[in-house]
Amino acid sequence: MNEVDKARQDDFHVTGDSPDAGCSGSACWMVVVPGPFFGGFTYHHDHDTVGPAPRPGVRVRIPFGQSERVGVILEPVRDEAGQETRALIEVLDHEPLLDSDTLACLVWAAAYYHHPLGEVVFSALPAALRGERSLRVPALRLTADGRVALEEGRVRGSRQQDVLGMLATCPGKAPVAVSELPGASAPVRRRLVEQGWVDLDEITAPATWPPSTAVETPVGDTPPPVLNDEQRAAVTAVEEAGRVFSTWLIEGVTGSGKTEVYLALIEQALAAGLQVLVVVPEISLTPQLIDRFARRLTVRPAVLHSGLSDGERMAAWRAVAAGSASLVIGTRSAAFVPLARPGLIVVDEEHDAALKQQEGFLYHARDVLIWRARQMDIPILLGSATPSLESLRHAWEGRYRHLTLTQRASGAQMPAIHCLDIRAQPMEGGISPALMRAIERHLLDGGQVMLYLNRRGYAPSLVCHACGYVAGCPHCDAYLTWHREVNRLRCHHCGFEQAVPRECPSCHAPLSVRGMGTEQLEDVLAARFPGFGIVRLDRDATAGKGVLAESLARIARGEARLVVGTQMLVKGHDFPGVTLVGVISADQALFASDFRGPERFAQSLLQVAGRAGRAERPGEVLVQTHDPAHPVLTRLLSDGYAAVMAAELAEREQAELPPTRFAALVRADAPQADAVRAFLTEVAGTLRETHGEALSVWGPVPAPLGRRAGRFRYQLLILARIRSELHRALWHIDERVGSRRPGQRIRWSIDVDPIDLA
Ligand code: ADP
Ligand code: ZN
Q: What is the pLDDT of residue 429?
A: 86
* pLDDT > 70? residue 188: yes
DSSP 8-state secondary structure symbol assigned to residue 20: P
Contact 533, 560 (CB under 8 A): yes
Taking residues 181-186, report their average pLDDT.
86
pLDDT band at 736 (very low <50, low <70, confident <90, very high): confident
Residue nearest to atom 4 of ligand 1 (CA): 255
Residue 33, pLDDT score: 96
Q: Checking DSSP bridges between strand 136-142 and strand 176-177, what pairing results, if any? A: antiparallel
**Res. 64: pLDDT tops 90:** yes
Residue 215: partners with Cβ closer than 8 Å, 6 or more residues away: none
For the question of whether the overall pTM of this predicted structure is more than 0.95, the answer is no
Question: Taking CB atoms and a 6 Å cutoff, what residues make up the pocket around ligand 1?
Answer: 225-228, 231, 252, 254-260, 409-410
Percent of residues, the chain, with pLDDT higher than 70: 94
- Measure 618 CA to ligand 1 centroid, in angstroms: 16
From the CA of 226, give the closest atom in ligand 1. 23
| pLDDT confidence of residue 726 | 95
Ligand 1 atom at minimum distance from 253 CA: 3
Check pLDDT > 50 for residue 2.
Answer: no
CA nearest ligand 1 atom 6, residue = 257
Cα–ligand 2 centroid distance for 106 (angstroms): 35
Q: Out of 285-289, 442-446, 550-554, which region has the weakest mean confidence (pLDDT)?
A: 285-289
Q: What is the mean pLDDT of residues 182-202?
A: 89
Q: How confident is the model at residue 1 (pLDDT cuts 50, 70, 90)?
A: very low
Gap between the Cα atoms of 650 and 313, Å rounded: 44
Ligand nearest the Cα of residue 705 is: 2
Tens digit of each residue's pLDDT (9 = 90 or more) over 7-30 = 344 343 333 344 444 444 458 999
Q: What is the mean pLDDT of residues 16-45?
A: 73
Query: pLDDT-based confidence at 651, cuts 50/70/90?
Result: very high
Segment 323-328 mean pLDDT: 96
Measured in whole angstroms, how far is the alpha carbon of residue 166 from the centre of its chain?
42
* Preceding omega of 210 cis (within 30 degrees of 0): yes
The pLDDT of 685-714, averaged and rounded, is: 90
240 pLDDT band, cuts 50/70/90, is very high
State in Å: Cα 741 to ligand 2 middle.
27
The preferred substitution site among 227, 229, 251, 259 for testing ligand 1, maximizing ligand atoms within 8 Å of CB, is 259
pLDDT confidence bin for 494, thresholds 50/70/90: confident
**pLDDT grade for 352, boundaries at 50, 70 and 90:** very high
Chain segment 423-475, per-residue pLDDT in tens: 999 998 899 999 999 999 999 999 999 999 988 998 888 899 899 899 999 99
How confident is residue 98, by pLDDT bands cut at 50, 70 and 90? very high
What are the angstrom distances between the C-alpha of 311 and each of 213, 214, 280? Answer: 12, 13, 22
**Residue 286 above 80 pLDDT?**
no
pLDDT at site 214: 67
Position 79 scores a pLDDT of 66
Q: What angle do CA 717, 722, 725 make, to 5 degrees?
A: 70
Q: Whose CA is nearest to atom 14 of ligand 1?
A: 410
Residue 1 makes CB contacts below 8 A (sequence gap 6+) with: 9, 371, 374
- Looking at residue 572, its pLDDT comes to 59
Q: What is the pLDDT of residues 196-221, one digit of tens each?
A: 999 998 888 888 888 776 667 777 78
Closest C-alpha among 758, 749, 747 to residue 671: 747
What's the pLDDT at 458? Answer: 87
Q: Which residue has the higher pLDDT, 572 or 226?
A: 226
Which ligand 1 atom minimizes the distance to the CA of 385? 3
Residue nearest to atom 10 of ligand 1 (CA): 255
Question: Which ligand sits closest to the CA of 497?
Answer: 2
d(CA 296, CA 289): 10
Q: Which atom of ligand 1 is nearest to the CA of 228?
A: 23
pLDDT digits (tens, 9 = 90+) for 292-302: 898 899 888 99
Nearest bound ligand to CA 575? 1
How far apart (Å, rounded) are the C-alpha atoms in residues 106 and 103? Answer: 5
Confidence of residue 741 (pLDDT cuts 50, 70, 90): low
CA dihedral 24, 26, 30, 31 (to 10 degrees): -110
CA of 477 to the centre of ligand 2 (A): 7
Instruction: Provide CB contacts within 8 A for 501, sequence distance 6+.
Output: 462, 471, 511
CA of 285 from ligand 2 middle (Å) equals 30
Q: What is the rounded distance in angstroms from the CA atom of residue 204 to the CA atom of residue 430?
A: 61
Yes or no: say if 479 and 489 are a contact pair by the CB < 8 Å rule.
no
Query: Average pLDDT, whole number, for the chain?
Result: 89
Nearest Cα residue to atom 21 of ligand 1: 409
Amino acid at 157: G
